[in-house]
Amino acid sequence: MGTTLKIALIKGDGIGIDVSDATVEVVDAALARAGAQPLEYDEIRAGAGCFAESGQDIEPDGEARAGAADAIFLGAIGLPSVRHADGTEISPHLRLRDRFGLYAGVRPVKAYPNAPQRLADPRAAGIDMVILRESTEGLFYSAAAHGRSDIRGDEEVRDTLRITRATTEKLHRFAFRLAEKRKERGKPGRVTCVDKANVFASMAFFRKIFDEIAPEFPHIPTGYQYVDAQALHLVRAPWEADVLVMENMFGDILSDLAGGLVGGMGMAACAEIGDETGLFQPAHGSAPDIIGQDKANPLAAVLSGALMLDYLAEKSNDASYARAATLIEGAVDAGFAANRLRPMEFGGDMGTRAMTDALLECVAAKDLAAG
């Protein structure tokens, strides 16, 4: 057996606790089925609840422990009723992105059989794309740490949009490598640069760097879209998209739009990857309106767990983690196809516990050879 990999587990607030628990169960079952080494979890308290109790948004040494782990899994952070004095919500995860340079925000968007599809066109059943959101700069640069906004009394506030060559080069190379992997799996393997280069110098710079990196990957086709046109295209023909790479705020908005096309935020998995570590979380919030009611859809978290296993496979050079990830992804596909996954979020009759049990059954039944 190889070295045990450690996961910093931050369950956070609200339904983050429920979906984290579900993910750990499903991930552990998939690892066992794939013959992979079990993971070790280091639970770290963080979020609005932690802040309300202690005045700190993460427990002492929590950030250092998160950075020392092989990966970070986060449930959900924030409660609307708990805020900083300036009105912003508690968000230590933004600081973790900044501290550990988690520049590549990977947001898969995939349609599943028997899951809601908001577009009537039958081609919507083939939606399968990745929105790649730069996660440390852009307009969120000001939000990552308090003090970066220029607050001028009660009359004006200025936030800074930051694009750097070093980070943008890494992001675009990540996009092309992701397209290569998707091409190997039968996907189009095409990268589209989404920006507002016709208006902002920062976005023209973003596109200029994209054009400089593209020749390193001559076998990967490229394209361009202004962000407003891309929003329109995601409604008109989302099945044409493959890998879309963009600035932080644009990615925040378009990934939610795209998630809505395939059911909702309960399906929105997310990976945020840097040079040394990765953070994995469902893209939804803490949903305080359904806390403790066994109504949360755990699929976004579970699919984020599968992304984490893929990352660990590459980081540790251990294919058994990739087998476990494929098991989870296949179990979700098979579960929807057989109508065994019916989350309340979609009007179904299955709460968090029932969904977790169904996923465990699907993982146990999935053909290992097929994945």
pLDDT at 146 over 60: no
140: confidence class by pLDDT, cuts 50, 70, 90: confident
Partners of 205 in the β-ladder: none
Tell me the domains of the chain and their CATH numbers.
1-103+268-371 (3.40.718.10), 117-261 (3.40.718.10)
| Per-residue pLDDT at 368 exceeds 70 | no
| pLDDT at 100 > cutoff 90 | yes
Measured CA to CA in angstroms, residue 32 lies from 26, 41, 324 at distances of 10, 16, 8
The structure tokens listed for 332 are: 């979700």
What is the Cα Rg of the chain in Å? 20
Compute the distance between CA of residue 293 and CA of residue 111 in angstroms, rounded to an integer.
27
DSSP secondary structure of 251-282: HHHHHHHHHHHTT-GGG---EEE-SS-EEE--
pLDDT at position 332: 96
pLDDT value for 91: 84
The C-alpha atoms of residue 213 and residue 206 are separated, in whole angstroms, by 11
Host H or E run for residue 40? strand 40-43
User: Of 120, 154, 7, nearest to 66 (Cα)?
Assistant: 7
Q: Is the pLDDT of residue 366 over 90?
A: no
Which H or E run includes 139? none
- At residue 3, does pLDDT exceed 90? no
CA distance 46 to 92: 7
More confident residue, 172 or 95: 172
Parallel, antiparallel, or unpaired: how do β-strands 243-246 and 128-134 relate?
parallel
**pLDDT-derived band at 265, boundaries 50, 70, 90:** confident
**pLDDT at residue 371 greater than cutoff 70:** no
- 302, 307, 309, 315: CA torsion to nearest 10: -160
Confidence of residue 369 (pLDDT cuts 50, 70, 90): low
| Percentage of the residues of the chain whose pLDDT score is greater than 70 | 96
Side-chain-facing half-sphere of 71: CA atoms under 13 Å: 26
The band of 247, judged by pLDDT with boundaries at 50, 70 and 90, is: very high
Query: In which residue are the tokens 């984290």 written?
Result: 20
In the predicted model, is pLDDT for residue 266 greater than 90? no
Query: Average pLDDT of 153-169?
Result: 92
User: When comparing pLDDT for 147 and 17, which is higher?
Assistant: 17
Q: How far apart are CA 369 and CA 295, in angstroms?
A: 33
Residues 39-60, mean pLDDT to the nearest whole number: 94
Q: What global pTM score does this model have? A: 0.92
Q: Using 50, 70 and 90 to split pLDDT, how confident is the model at 144?
A: low
- 93-112 as b/e: b if 16+ CB within 10 A: bbbbbbbbbbbbbbbbbbbb
Task: Spell 268-295 as b/e; 16+ CB within 10 A means b.
Answer: bbbbbbbeebbbbbbbbbbbbebbeeeb
When mean pLDDT is compared over 96-100, 141-145, 146-150, 364-368, the highest value belongs to 96-100
